[in-house]
Structure formats: C-alpha cells, structure tokens
C-alpha cells in the first residue's frame, strides 16, 4: 500500500467532519476522529519490525514532476517514532477531548477539522523526505495551530495568543524555507537523504553557515527555544486537549525533529554544536527558572515544556559532537543522541498526562490559578496520582521514566567537559553546571505544580465550582500515559530497542548501520556515578528550595514588567505598526504636489545620473542642421509667450499667452515643413482657446493661494532640473543615432503600394491605421466624458431625494 497517502488520511477525513457533526447529532463527533487516529497508530505499529532491522521504507506521490517536487514519505526509526507519538497521543487526546468538550456548547466541527488538519501536517513533517513538502507541512502546522489556539475566538486572549504564535512560528518557517532553498542549491537536490549522503561536500561552502543558521531559526521558533519561546505560554489559551497535543507532545517537537534530522548535514560545524547545545541549555535554565514564578497551572506546564525542549535540544547538540571524536570517547557522545530520543518519548508521555490533569482540575474546579487551589488530593485521588507520577517523572525521580532520561542527560553534559575541539575545553565546565542548576529548578516547579494543587489546605470558598473527581472517560487518557511513564522505568531497554535505537540510527546515519550497534544499556541502578551524586544534590537543594518557596518566590517580582521578552515583542509589534504608519504618513501627504515633486525629482535625478554614469552625454555639432533665421525668431516668440504664461496675473492673459505658445508651435511646423501638423495645430489651438474662453466665466481667478517664495523656489529648482534634463537628453539622443530612419520605405512605396501622395496622411490611414482608429476612440470617449460630466448629477439627486 502506498503509505504516503496515509499522511492525507486525516485531512481527507476532516472533509467529512462537518457533515457528520450536522447529521449524526447523538454521537460525539470525536469518536469518528478517534477511530481515524487509532487506526493510523495501529497501522504505523507494523513498521516497527522493519526499523528494528535498520530498514527504511519510502513511498512517493508525484506532485509537480517538472519542478522535481513530490510527496515522499520516508519511514525510518526517527520518523516512525514521531508518527507513533503523533497518532498515539493524538488518539488519546481525541478521547480526552470527547469528554472535555461539550457536545452541545462547543463548535465541535471546527475543532476536529483543525485537529485533523494538524495531524496531517505533523505526519507530513516527520515523514517528508522532500524539503519543499516538508516546508509545506511545516506551515500547515503553523496555520492549524493558529486556528486551534484561537478556537474560542470570542476571547481577546485567545486571539492575541493565536496571532503571536502565528507571527513567531511563521517568521521561523520563512527563515527555514530560506535555509532549505540554500541547502537544495548546495546539494543540487531536494531530498534530505541525498543531502545527508553528500554532507561532507558542503563543508566550507559559502552558503553553509547561512543555511545552518536559517534552518536553526525555523527549529528554534517552532520548538519554543530562547528567545522565541514567548509564544508558547500565550498559546495556553487554547482548549486543554490542544495544549496537551500540540504544545507538549507534537508540534513543539517538530523543531527537535528538524534538528535531529539535519544533524548529519550540519554536525561538522562548530557553529551548529555551540548554537544547538548553548541555546538548548539556556532555554532549559530559563524555562525552569521562570516556571516557578507562574501561578497558572497551564503556564507552569508551558514554561516546563520550554525547559524540557531546551534539554532535548542541548542533547541533540551534544550528539553532533559524536561526529568529531573517535575511539573510546566517541561512545559517550553517542549516548547523547540516545538520551535525547529517550527523553523525547518520556516528555511526550508525562507532559501530555500533566496537561490533561491541569485540564481536569480546570474542568472540575473552574479555575487554573494555583493560588486558589489546594487540598484536592482526597477529592480527586486519581487525578492526583496521575499528576504525581507525571511530576515526579518530570523532576527526574525514580521509579519513573524521567529519572532515567535525566541521568543520561547529566552523563552527556558531564562528557562535554572532556570534548577538546572548538574551545570546549575552556567553556565545557559551564554545561554540567547550568544543567544541574536547571534540574534543581525543574525539581522545584514539579513539586510546586503537584503539591500546591493537591496538597495543603482546602480552599473551598475560593473555587468557582464544587470540586469532584471527574468522569472515567476523561481520566482514561492521562491514566494510560501515566502508566506508560511508570512502565518505561522498568523496561527502558525494551523501549530503547524498539524505538530509541532505530531513531538514533536514523539520526546519526553516518555512524551506525544497524540498531544493534547502538550499545547503550539503560539501567536504573548504575553505581555511585557522578550523575547519581548530582541527582542527590538536586533532590537535597530542590527540596530545600521548595520548602522555603514562599520566602524567595517574591524575588521574581523584582523583574519589572517592561523588561521582559514579552514586552520586547509587544514593543516590536506596536512599533512595527505605528512606525510603518508614521513612515507612510510621512511621504503619503495626500497632496498632489508632493507626489509630483517625488516623481519629477526622481525622473531628473535618475535620467541625469544614468546619462553621465553611462558616459552617454554627447553633443555632435556635425549632426545638427544649419541655423534658420525664421526658426530662431519663432523660438524667441515662443519663449516670450511661455514667460507670459508663467507671469500672467489674470487668467485671460494666461489663456491668450498659452494660445500664443500654440500658434508659435504651429509656426514651427510650417518652418519645418509639416503642413498637416501646422493645419491641425492651428485648428486645435483655436478650439482649445475657444474652449477656455467658453469656460471663462465659470473659471476662478488666477490665484497663487499663498504660495510662499520658498515654495516657489522649490518648484523652480525641480522645474529647472527637469528642463535641463530634457535638453541634455534631446541633445545626446540626436547626436548619437544608431540606425537610420525606416521612413525611406514609406517615401518609396507611398504611391506604388498605397496610391497616395501625402505621405503623412497615408501613414495615418493606411500604414498605421490602427493608431488612428484608437485616437478616434479617445476623442469619442473624451466627448462622452465631457457630456456625462456636465449632464449627470447623481449626488445632487440623492440629496434632493433625502430632502423630500
């Protein structure tokens, strides 16, 4: 079966959702969606067998063959892992949403259409081998995520959050497109696999670093890395199933997927290792540090997601180091890739379950404010258990999956100290220290999340609703996820063998050929190693900090509101809008004169500049015809008449002077032997002057409207510039004729071909009759225009109607 088509299964199913929603009223639409995602999950399970042996599968759907663009689904360990997460957690989230969203009150058709759209987009990202379709699906996730965050579109906060996430992720997406295009130019292919195969040839290429930075921008914005994480906390306005699905388990991991996928291409670069590891660790610390500050349950989880994504990102950066070291040291960096994937799975599980618990608490108590909550342990025992398991896993305590992945993480960070290239020997010590401090804060916020909500005194009076344990259906999904979290701790090596090792092989394709070569063995007890000591330190200091939290949590208030990344974003947006507005208003004054000044000034400047830069100015006296006494006299008359027009005080004088100019032009036509022109010019000038005189009584007096001397001087300078430009242009053009006139043909054939003697007339009606046809049309239109302007009075008629 062509499994590339399965990518499109959700979006095709989305077409039927509104129909089902409208017709099948008594069944919650979510069940239909649940079947789709569960079926996909089961289908993708079949690929495990293949990836276990290091095999891959591809399936192609041609789209634009002439441009070499196709949908290529490519399933290896990494994309299979992601596909399973997407469909599996997708199914659980849909199940949860069936009980979370009310059938009657919510617009379920919208919700599930967006969700299915998103599922297609995510499957497309992780399975695409073609960079252009990868980008296509990438933007589709941005769009569907925008729609999902703004699901309750009547709320201001939802719209703000949706817009913010859209702006940031689409910015990153566009940057990534640039990077992908550069990559395709470098490798002369759109296929990621082919790029990876030729990775060594890119080193030192001009575009290499630029492509690297652009691709990373895409990954960092999507995966909410510093400083682009700011959209994620605001995206918490989405319904909780969306937060659980998009903003913990799947979409934010698209950036991680991208980094993992492109690691073999960019790993050779120092910039890549520093950026990915450094930004990852910074995000890890920043997110964990600010998570403690939050008072909203979902905001805590959002910052915790940011932090955990940073952790995985830094591990991915460390895994690139494996390409630079050989021998015994190499093994320890190969660890990092394993740790990254392993934690990615862990995080998807526990974060999904925690979001669902936060949703349950919100659903049952009516608030997510941690200050109003407390003592729910005995009322909601199941939710508490799930939250406890999730939080302890997040804090990295045994016996939960998070413990294992955190130990692996600390091992990898400790190993970075010993990496000798790229200044790591000097700065490497920072990595384990930051990682450790961040882990302490992770511990604190995990405890903060679960115990401030469920332990302590009950605050019934502050809750909007009477709390009670929620329905079985809503608990089902978080319980399944929590169970997996516990199971992972006990069978880490099975999970490693089934999912992680094939993914590592896919991610570090140059280093391994078969999953069995990945020799990482995870065990819960691994001796009195330094990382276990660090964990004990985390527990000790974390417990101390948690117990004394009320004393130091106020320290967060020291940071002023205006000095934050959110404030920077807001300022940028406001400045962007008002700045652009001011810029437009600055040059768009609404005055015709201003625009004309721009045009004339640019015409004069550009023409003159081009004339001299191209060295095109030339005056060839030889090409000019001899001076002509009548011509000079006429020229003097014409110039005098022009001056009269300029300085006329009354409109009558101006009109007559304009007529004078017209008649001198007619005289020129006589002198230069153009009888037809002279005739036409005379008649038309007469008619024009007559027209002016006809309108004379209706015309206003010739006023200057308070034009200042400065105003006139400005006009004069522009006018002089244009006049001089035209003179220079005319002289140069006449002095440098490249080819002779084609008129010899007209002269030769006017009688033999067209049976006429007047060459001008024959040209007008015979050789070039079309010009004449349409100039007649112009005259006709002008006539109709004049007539209608004088006769039609629409606005006045309407007014008079109103008056009646």
Partner 1 sequence: MEFVMAIVIGILFMAAVYLILSKSLLRIILGTGLLSHGAHLLILTMGGLGGTSPPVLAEGVTDYVDPLPQALILTAIVISFGVTAFIIVLFYRTYAEHKTDNMNLMKGNDEHD
Spatial distance between the Cα atoms of 456 and 461, rounded to a whole number of angstroms: 15
Shortest Cβ 607–partner 1 spacing (Å): 12
Nearer residue to partner 1 within complex by CB, 382 or 759: 759
* Interior/surface letters 524-534, b for 16+ CB within 10 angstroms, e for the rest: eeeeeeebeeb
Task: Select the residue interacting with partner 1 from 562, 724, 753, 800 (CB under 8 A).
Answer: 724
Q: Which residues are CB-contacts of 99 (< 8 A; sequence separation ≥ 6)? A: 470, 471, 473, 474
User: Among 4, 24, 30, which residue's Cα sits nearest to residue 474?
Assistant: 30
User: Which of the ranges 21-29, 137-145, 346-354, 592-600 carries the binding residues for partner 1, by CB under 8 A?
Assistant: 592-600
Cβ proximity of 30 and 95 under 8 Å: yes
Our CA dihedral for 156, 162, 163, 167, rounded to 10 degrees, sits at: 160
CB of 610 to partner 1, least distance (A): 18
Shortest spacing between CB 159 and partner 1, in angstroms: 24
Closer CB to partner 1, 207 or 692, in the complex:
692
Angle at 257 between CA 251 and CA 262, to 5 degrees: 145
Q: Find the Cα–Cα–Cα–Cα dihedral 610, 614, 617, 618, rounded to 10°.
A: -160
**Would you count residue 539 as binding partner 1 (CB under 8 A)?**
no
Binding to partner 1 (CB under 8 A) within 630-649 occurs at 631-632, 635, 638-639, 642-643, 645-646
Sign of CA dihedral 273, 279, 280, 281: positive
The three state secondary structure string of 20-54 is HHHHCCCCCCHHHHHHHHHHHHHHHHCCHHHHHCC
CB-nearer residue toward partner 1: 227 or 631: 631
Q: How far is the CB of 114 from partner 1 (least distance, A)?
A: 35
Cβ at position 731, least distance to partner 1 in Å: 5
- Of 434, 597, 616, 652, the one binding partner 1 (CB under 8 A) is 597
**In this complex, which beta carbon is closest to partner 1, that of residue 373 or of residue 661?**
661
Q: What is the per-residue DSSP string for 730-751?
A: HHHHHH---S--THHHHHHHTT
Tokens 């997460």 correspond to: 85
- What is the C-alpha to C-alpha distance for residues 94 and 30, in angstroms, rounded to an integer? 6
First to last CA, the chain: 75
44-63 residues near partner 1, rule: CB under 8 A: none
Residue 764 CB, nearest approach to partner 1 (Å): 5
Of 403 and 668, CB closest to partner 1:
668
**Binds partner 1 by CB under 8 A, chosen from 156, 590, 709, 739:** 590
Least distance to partner 1, CB of residue 339, Å = 57
Shortest Å distance, C-beta 614 to partner 1: 19
Give the CA distances from residue 172 to residues 175, 283, 471, in Å, rounded to whole numbers and listed in that order: 5, 17, 40
CB of 656 to partner 1, least distance (A): 11
Binder of partner 1 out of 699, 753, 797, 800 (CB under 8 A): 699
Nearest to partner 1 of 612, 716 (CB atom): 716
Q: Binders of partner 1 among 602-631, rule CB under 8 A? A: 619, 621, 623-628, 631
Whole-number Å distance between alpha carbons of 468 and 383: 11
Q: What is the sign, positive or negative, of the torsion defined by CA atoms of 311, 313, 316, 317? A: negative
596 binds partner 1 (CB under 8 A): yes
Among 460, 540, 605, 730, binds partner 1 (CB under 8 A): 730
**453: Cβ contacts below 8 Å, ≥ 6 apart:** 297, 361, 370, 373, 374, 376, 387
CB of 487 or CB of 721, closer to partner 1: 721
Stretch that binds partner 1, among 244-252, 397-405, 563-571, 586-594 (CB under 8 A): 586-594
Q: Is 718 in the site for partner 1 (CB under 8 A)?
A: yes
**Of 277, 404, 259, nearest to 346 (Cα)?**
404
d(CA 300, CA 492): 28
Residues 104, 105, 705, 710: which binds partner 1 (CB under 8 A)? 705
- Considering only residues 69 to 128 of the shown chain, the ones binding partner 1 according to CB under 8 A are none
CB closer to partner 1 out of 558 and 627: 627
Give the per-residue contact string, 655-694, with partner 1 (x = CB under 8 A; - = no): x--x--xx--x--xx--xxxxxx--xx--x--xx--xx--
Indicate the residue among 552 and 716 with the shorter CB distance to partner 1: 716
Residue numbers 733-792 binding partner 1 by CB under 8 A? 733-734, 741-743, 746-747, 750-751, 757-760, 763-764, 768, 771-772, 775, 778-779, 781-783, 785-786, 789-790
Closest CA to 598 of 587, 609, 607, 608: 587
- DSSP characters for 554-609? GGGGGS-TTSSHHHHHHHHHHHHHHHHHHHHHHH--S-HHHHHHHHHHHHHHHHHH
Tell me how far, at minimum, the Cβ of 703 lies from partner 1, in Å.
6
226 versus 669: smaller Cβ distance to partner 1: 669
Complex with partner 1: residue 544 or 751, whichever CB lies closer: 751
Question: Nearer Cβ to partner 1, position 434 or 682?
Answer: 682
Residue 422, C-beta contacts closer than 8 angstroms, at least 6 positions apart? 270, 273, 274
Contact present, 96 and 478 (Cβ < 8 Å)? yes
CB contact burial 242-280 (16+ within 10 A = b; e otherwise): bbbbbbbbbbbbbbbbbbbbbbbbbbbbeebbbbbbbbb
Minimum distance, C-beta of residue 609 to partner 1, in the bound complex (Å): 18
Measured from the CB of residue 724, what is the shortest distance to partner 1 in angstroms? 6
**Distance in angstroms (rounded) separating the CA atoms of residues 410 and 190:** 37
Q: How far apart are CA 341 and CA 339, in angstroms?
A: 6
Cβ closest to partner 1, residue 540 vs residue 596: 596
Binding test (CB under 8 A) with partner 1, winner from 52, 379, 434, 731: 731
Piece in contact with partner 1 (CB under 8 A), picked from 297-305, 373-381, 560-568, 704-712: 704-712
Determine the interface stretch with partner 1 among 116-124, 247-255, 513-521, 711-719 (rule: CB under 8 A): 711-719
Question: Of 418 and 707, which has the nearer Cβ to partner 1?
Answer: 707
Q: Assess contact for 77 and 505: CB atoms under 8 A.
A: yes
Shortest Cβ distance from residue 65 to partner 1 (Å)? 47
Please say which residue, 210 or 588, places its beta carbon nearer to partner 1.
588
- Residues 223-242 binding partner 1 (CB under 8 A) are none
d(CA 356, CA 362): 10
**Residue 13 burial (C-beta neighbours within 10 Å; 0-12, 13-18, 19+):** buried
In degrees, rounded to 5, the angle at the alpha carbon of residue 556 between the alpha carbons of residues 278 and 442 is 50
**Shortest Cβ 253–partner 1 spacing (Å):** 44
Q: By CB under 8 A, is residue 650 in contact with partner 1? A: no
Q: How many residues bind partner 1 (CB under 8 A)?
A: 97
CB 60 within 8 A of CB 70: yes
- Contact indicator for 98, 31 with CB cutoff of 8 Å: yes
Complex with partner 1: residue 491 or 786, whichever CB lies closer: 786
The residue (of 209 and 732) whose beta carbon lies closer to partner 1 is: 732
With respect to partner 1, which residue has the nearer C-beta, 154 or 584? 584
Quick one: three-class SS letters along 307-369? HHHHHHHHHHHHHHHCCCCCCHHHHHHHHHHHHHHHHHHHHHHHHHHHHHHHHHHHHHHCCCE
- Least separation in angstroms between residue 739's CB and partner 1 is 13
| Secondary structure letter of residue 553 according to DSSP | G
The distance of closest approach from Cβ of residue 90 to partner 1 in the complex, given in angstroms and rounded to an integer, is 46
**Contact flag: residue 595 with partner 1 (CB under 8 A):** no
């Amino acid at each position: 079966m062509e499994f590339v088509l399965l990518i499109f299964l959700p979006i095709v199913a989305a077409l039927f959702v509104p129909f089902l929603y409208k017709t099948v009223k008594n069944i919650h639409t979510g069940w239909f969606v649940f079947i789709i995602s569960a079926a996909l999950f089961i289908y993708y399970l079949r690929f495990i067998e293949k990836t276990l042996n290091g095999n891959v599968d591809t399936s192609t759907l041609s789209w634009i063959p002439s441009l070499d663009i196709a949908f290529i689904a490519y399933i290896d360990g990494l994309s299979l892992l992601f596909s399973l997460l997407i469909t599996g957690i997708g199914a659980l989230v849909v199940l949860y949403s069936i009980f979370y969203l009310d059938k009657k009150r919510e617009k379920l058709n919208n919700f599930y259409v967006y969700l299915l759209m998103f599922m297609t987009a995510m499957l497309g990202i992780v399975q695409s081998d073609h960079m252009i379709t990868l980008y296509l699906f990438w933007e589709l996730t941005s769009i569907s995520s925008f729609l999902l965050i703004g699901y309750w579109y009547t709320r201001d906060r939802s719209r703000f959050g949706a817009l913010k996430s859209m702006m940031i992720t689409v910015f990153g997406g566009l940057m990534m497109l640039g990077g992908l295009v550069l990559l395709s130019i470098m490798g002369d292919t759109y296929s990621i696999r082919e790029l990876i195969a030729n990775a060594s040839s890119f080193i030192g290429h001009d575009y290499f670093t630029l492509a690297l930075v652009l691709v990373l921008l895409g990954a960092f914005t999507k995966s909410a890395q510093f400083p682009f994480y700011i959209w994620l906390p605001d995206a918490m306005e989405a319904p909780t199933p969306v937060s659980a699905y998009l903003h913990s388990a799947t979409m934010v991991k698209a950036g991680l997927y991208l980094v993992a996928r492109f690691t073999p291409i960019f790993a050779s670069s120092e910039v890549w290792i520093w950026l990915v590891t450094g930004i990852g660790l910074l995000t890890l610390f920043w997110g964990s540090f600010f998570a403690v500050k939050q008072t909203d349950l979902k905001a805590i989880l959002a910052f915790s997601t940011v932090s955990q994504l940073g952790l995985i990102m830094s591990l991915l950066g460390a895994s690139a180091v494996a390409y630079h070291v050989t021998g015994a040291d190499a093994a320890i960096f190969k660890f990092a890739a394993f740790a990254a994937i392993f934690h990615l799975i862990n995080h998807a599980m526990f974060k999904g379950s925690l979001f669902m618990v936060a949703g349950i608490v919100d659903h049952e108590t009516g608030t997510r404010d941690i200050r109003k909550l407390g003592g729910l342990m005995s009322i909601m025992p199941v939710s508490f258990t799930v939250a406890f398991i999730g939080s302890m896993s997040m804090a990295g305590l045994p016996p939960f999956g998070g413990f294992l992945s955190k130990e692996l993480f600390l091992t990898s960070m400790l190993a970075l100290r010993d990496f000798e290239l790229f200044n790591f020997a000097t700065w490497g010590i920072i990595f384990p220290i930051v990682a450790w401090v961040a882990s302490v804060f992770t511990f604190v916020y995990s405890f903060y999340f679960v115990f401030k909500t469920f332990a302590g005194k009950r605050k019934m009076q502050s809750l909007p609703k009477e709390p009670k344990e929620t329905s079985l259906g809503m608990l089902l999904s978080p319980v399944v996820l929590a169970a997996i979290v516990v199971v992972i701790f006990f069978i880490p090596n099975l999970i490693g063998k089934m999912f992680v090792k094939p993914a590592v092989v896919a991610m570090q394709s140059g280093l391994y050929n078969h999953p069995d070569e990945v020799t990482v063995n995870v065990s819960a007890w691994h001796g009195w190693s330094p990382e276990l000591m660090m964990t004990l330190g985390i527990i000790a200091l974390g417990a101390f900090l948690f117990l004394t939290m009320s004393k130091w949590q106020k320290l967060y208030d020291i940071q002023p509101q205006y000095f934050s990344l959110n404030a920077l974003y807001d300022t940028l947006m406001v400045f962007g809008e008002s700045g652009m507005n001011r810029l437009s208003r600055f040059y768009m004054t609404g005055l015709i004169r201003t625009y004309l000044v721009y045009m004339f000034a640019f015409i004069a400047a550009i023409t003159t500049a081009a004339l001299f830069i191209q060295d095109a100015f030339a005056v060839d006296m030889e090409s000019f015809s001899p001076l002509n006494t009548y011509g000079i006299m006429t020229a003097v008359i014409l110039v005098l008449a022009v001056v009269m027009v300029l300085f006329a005080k009354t409109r009558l004088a101006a009109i007559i002077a304009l007529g004078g100019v017209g008649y001198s032009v007619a005289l020129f036509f006589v002198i230069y032997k153009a009888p037809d022109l002279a005739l036409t010019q005379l008649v038309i000038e007469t008619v024009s002057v007559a027209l002016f005189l006809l309108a004379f009584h209706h015309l206003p007096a010739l006023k200057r409207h308070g034009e200042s001397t400065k105003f006139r001087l400005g006009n004069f300078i522009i006018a002089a510039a244009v006049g001089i430009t035209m003179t220079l242009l005319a002289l140069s053009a006449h002095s440098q004729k490249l080819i002779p006139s084609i008129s010899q043909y007209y002269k030769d054939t006017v009688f033999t071909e067209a049976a006429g003697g007047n060459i001008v007339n024959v040209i007008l009606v015979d050789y070039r009759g079309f010009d004449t046809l349409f100039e007649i049309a112009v005259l006709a239109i002008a006539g109709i225009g004049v007539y209608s302007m004088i006769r039609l009075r629409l606005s006045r008629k309407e007014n008079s109607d109103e008056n009646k």
